[in-house]
Structure 1
Amino acid sequence: MPLRAPEPAITAEDEVVGLCRDLLRIDSSNFGDGSGPGERAAAEYVMASLTEVGLDPEYYESAPGRANVVVRLPGEDPTLGALVLHGHLDVVPAQASDWQVDPFGGEERDGLLWGRGAVDMKDMDAMILAVVRQMARDGRRPARDVVVAMFADEEAGGAFGARWSVDHRPDLFEGATEAISEVGGFSVEIDGKRAYLLQTAEKGLAWLRLIADGRAGHGSQVNPDNAVTHLAAAVARIGLHDWPLTLTPTVRRLLTGVADLTGTRFDEDDPAGIDRLVAALGPAARFVGATIRTTAAPTQLAAGYKANVIPGRAEATIDVRYPPGHGDETFATLAELAGEHVRFERVHQDIALEVPFEGDLVDAMVAALRAEDPGVAVLPYTLSAGTDNKSLSRLGITGYGFVPLLLPADLDFPGMFHGVDERVPTDSLKFGVRVLDRLLGTC
């Protein structure tokens, strides 16, 4: 009887698309008010994926259905600080009627995998799982301890995920010094040259409730103390305010790199020239253009209960994002713009971050990218939004955004974050696992 050929070894590249597809088919929408399905089903899938290859992850819930998973991989050198490799399992809601496909169908079309979370951030979750599973099957250890964490609730500030974990389970991250997560490591095209943006900073965040009090009364009466009028004027002043250019060290270094690639000059006293450098980043200009100044966007309004009644109170919500080191001046400006009739309540606030674009981990990330894509430029940048690195920073952990993806130049990747028809190229996922596998073996 002839011998049967041995089965080919399963690799991370073989698995990553299927893992991502499975995760996309799990609806883990986070509405921010506790009404969504929670992360339990996604966390159970992660648990099964890890235990199948002999790992012993810990599952815990911060509230019913708000599930988190953590597992520690021992490294070759236990004297080195541990690396936290983290993702989040929740996604923002999707309105199916706006999409070309079922947002929770995990459909593959023309080499792209479609679904809510394909870029934010079940793509990275799948890449992490694929690499860790392969390492476990191969019996390989990372260069240092790696703490793999899949958190709940990132899309609503992390109160049930990273922030809860830092407050209640800091033991899980003992000895960790650095972290990797979203949103960076993806490629862009600058003047026909490919570059990768490595996220080394995040703007600060404040969701502010503006409250105007006035004199309630009949809608037919003259009322100079109208809460709606006070609020409307404040919202208009804030929403139309021209915030000045604020160039942090990360932004300066990015713009200098873009100038080098385009053969132009970076002059921080030339606003038009700065705008041209930002525009040279193509679709990534969406992210970068929001990091060169503070933004304060009115997002919600509420007042009154009847057409002929002037209410005694009116409210609005403002989404404020400020550059690292500029929180105090931002809030002082907002108070001035709001005026004497409007006060603030802070609904949610989180810190800004800025970390060095240097050191062994940064060198290893750059080297891992260049090993798969030789000669490319790697530039630091600031994220206009926020990540769970904010929570981990409270434990002294230095966080970077590094989801390595080689993308088609014409794909509007940044525009798909929280957008419709979210999708990621399957080849990009395979590229990512090669880079991550190399990184974990060397950093």
Structure 2
Amino acid sequence: MTDNPRAEDEVVRLCQDLIGIDTSNYGDGSGPGERKAAEYVMSELTEVGLDPELIESEPGRASVVVRIEGEDSSRGALVVHGHLDVVPANAADWQVDPFAAELKDDCIWGRGAVDMKDMDAMILACVRELARSGKKPPRDLIIGMLADEEAGGLKGSHWLVDHRPELFEGATEAISEVGGYSVTFEGTSGEQRAYLLQTAEKGIAWLRLVAHGRAGHGSVPNDENAVVRLAQAIARIDAHVWPREYIASVRQLLDGLAELTGITYADDDLSPLLTKLGGARGFVEGTLQDTANFTMLDSGYKHNVIPQGASASLDCRFLPGHEDDLMATIRELAGEFVDVEVVHRDIALDAPFDAPIVEQMKAALLAEDPEAAVLPYCLSGGTDNKALQQLGITGYGFAPLRLPADLDFAPMFHGIDERVPVESLKFGTRVLSRFLANS
């Protein structure tokens, strides 16, 4: 390696180093936190002459932010952000140690390789190269490595927006995770690669259903059993058919796929078209309507005691403009004996695909992969762009990766044996560097 390596020459090292720092977020405050990873980011940025700030929302919950002056600071600044935390990993389920950052089969394996220490490494590599060059980007860049995204960002992005909004002063747009990766399918003229650029994301409503009843002995009939009341509410909600609505980004994606594949689709039968997306199909299917999935149950303390209460956790995701209708539907289905409590909520996002920044993303991708197509899509999950929207910052998902056609990439988000191909990482670094130099 030279004294001044290119971004793509050091992105693998950066990715491995970040994966090797366990930043598991259990959602209950019991994890290791992001402080060690934030200190690593600080050292990589200060080494090239930048002056980042490490900010803790509470001990151990650390984010890093640095502003890089652009040629024209009167233009709206661009926020380029990633999160440092990861979801937990059970090592017994994996082929490799999830925090060893092992190189295997030309991939970097480990928790965060996909979500999202790969993008963190790409950002760091590009920023380090930019700083070493002494060149200014076209406009101010605000680089953020944030805490707590995997638990809703309350100790990361939302905390910064609420307590340190000046860090994002003048920013108008942002890019982050879960967009810009490729899918490959049989098109009208042979094998076709398309990059899915995230322009929208569903809103979040994490709810707790609490059923109330009469406690009693397990041997005595009880027509006010809280467990039964909860089970009935669960069954009603699970059986509910949420109506479909194709928002603009989803419709554009479907139309684009139809044109590339030559498949005519009907709104009530998308299977032939969505099959072309491989593992990404689930992400798209999650954006065709609102969703409500039960994730946890809690009730009782002894086999022969009927408890007076029972609760369930419900993960709801709603399309833009649907929050009020979703909440009203859940409350109606829950019934009179079940309370619906909001544990966490966040907004839906919908940004235009017809925008100059999107054209710059397209140009950066197509410069490296000129035969590809670029299509918009809506994310069924959420990102830290939700918090930045509170400051009027329009967010997109753009973590560019050219992926092998046979790699089932999307299911690795929060999955087992998470890994990113080395060549994909280098490709993404070249694309991101080109984008930052021309944005």
- Shorter chain as denominator, the TM-score bin is over 0.9
Equivalent position of 1:83 in the other structure: 78
- Give the Cα separation in 2 of the matches to 1:314 and 1:239: 17
Equivalent position of 2:249 in the other structure: 250
Return the offset for 1:406.
Answer: 0.3
Return the offset for 1:375.
Answer: 2.8
Return the offset for 1:408.
Answer: 0.4
Aligned pair in 2 of structure 1 residues 339, 7: CA closer, same or farther (>3 Å)? Answer: closer
Aligned partner of 2:364 among 363, 368, 375 = 368
Equivalent position of 2:185 in the other structure: 190
Aligned length: 435
TM-score by length of 2: 0.97
Return the offset for 1:307.
Answer: 1.5
Return the offset for 1:304.
Answer: 1.2
- Give the Cα separation in 2 of the matches to 1:28 and 1:227: 38
Aligned pair in 2 of structure 1 residues 8, 306: CA closer, same or farther (>3 Å)? Answer: closer
Provide the secondary structure at the position in 2 that maps to 1:199.
strand
Aligned pair in 2 of structure 1 residues 7, 126: CA closer, same or farther (>3 Å)? Answer: closer
- Quote the sequence identity (%): 64
Equivalent position of 2:415 in the other structure: 419
> 1:58-78 CA deviation, whole Å, 9 max, x = no partner?
111000000010000111111
1:32-111 to 2 correspondence within 5 Å? 32-111=27-106
Residues 215-224 or 143-152, more deviating = 215-224
Confirm or deny that 1:152 pairs with 2:147: yes
Runs of 4+ in structure 1 deviating by more than 3 angstroms, as ranges, are 6-9
Return the offset for 1:252.
Answer: 0.6
Confirm or deny that 1:318 pairs with 2:314: yes
- Give the Cα separation in 1 of the matches to 2:2 and 2:123: 24
- Give the Cα separation in 2 of the matches to 1:322 and 1:9: 47
1:124-273 to 2 correspondence within 5 Å? 124-191=119-186, 192-268=191-267, 271-272=268-269
Confirm or deny that 1:20 pairs with 2:15: yes
- Give the Cα separation in 1 of the matches to 2:323 and 2:374: 28
8 A contact 2:265–2:272 mirrored in 1: no
- Give the Cα separation in 2 of the matches to 1:158 and 1:55: 25
> 1:297-337 CA deviation, whole Å, 9 max, x = no partner?
11111111122211111111111111111111111221221
Equivalent position of 1:354 in the other structure: 350
Return the offset for 1:10.
Answer: 1.0
- Give the Cα separation in 2 of the matches to 1:266 and 1:324: 24
- Give the Cα separation in 2 of the matches to 1:73 and 1:280: 41
Provide the secondary structure at the position in 1 that maps to 2:18.
helix
TM-score by length of 1: 0.96
Counterpart code for 1:157: G
> 1:61-99 CA deviation, whole Å, 9 max, x = no partner?
000000010000111111110000000000000000000
Provide the secondary structure at the position in 2 that maps to 1:160.
coil
Provide the secondary structure at the position in 2 that maps to 1:280.
helix
Return the offset for 1:433.
Answer: 1.0
Aligned partner of 1:377 among 373, 377, 383 = 373
> 1:261-296 CA deviation, whole Å, 9 max, x = no partner?
11122433xx11x23222221111021111111111
- Give the Cα separation in 2 of the matches to 1:393 and 1:128: 21
Equivalent position of 1:3 in the other structure: none
8 A contact 2:280–2:410 mirrored in 1: yes
Where do 5+ consecutive residues of structure 1 fail to align?
1-5
Provide the secondary structure at the position in 2 that maps to 1:142.
coil
Counterpart code for 1:324: P
Provide the secondary structure at the position in 2 that maps to 1:378.
strand
8 A contact 1:190–1:261 mirrored in 2: no
Aligned partner of 1:290 among 286, 289, 299 = 286
8 A contact 1:142–1:442 mirrored in 2: yes
- Give the Cα separation in 2 of the matches to 1:282 and 1:214: 46
8 A contact 2:181–2:196 mirrored in 1: yes
Equivalent position of 1:401 in the other structure: 397
Provide the secondary structure at the position in 1 that maps to 2:194.
strand
Counterpart code for 1:33: D
8 A contact 2:213–2:308 mirrored in 1: yes
8 A contact 2:4–2:132 mirrored in 1: no
- Give the Cα separation in 2 of the matches to 1:64 and 1:161: 12
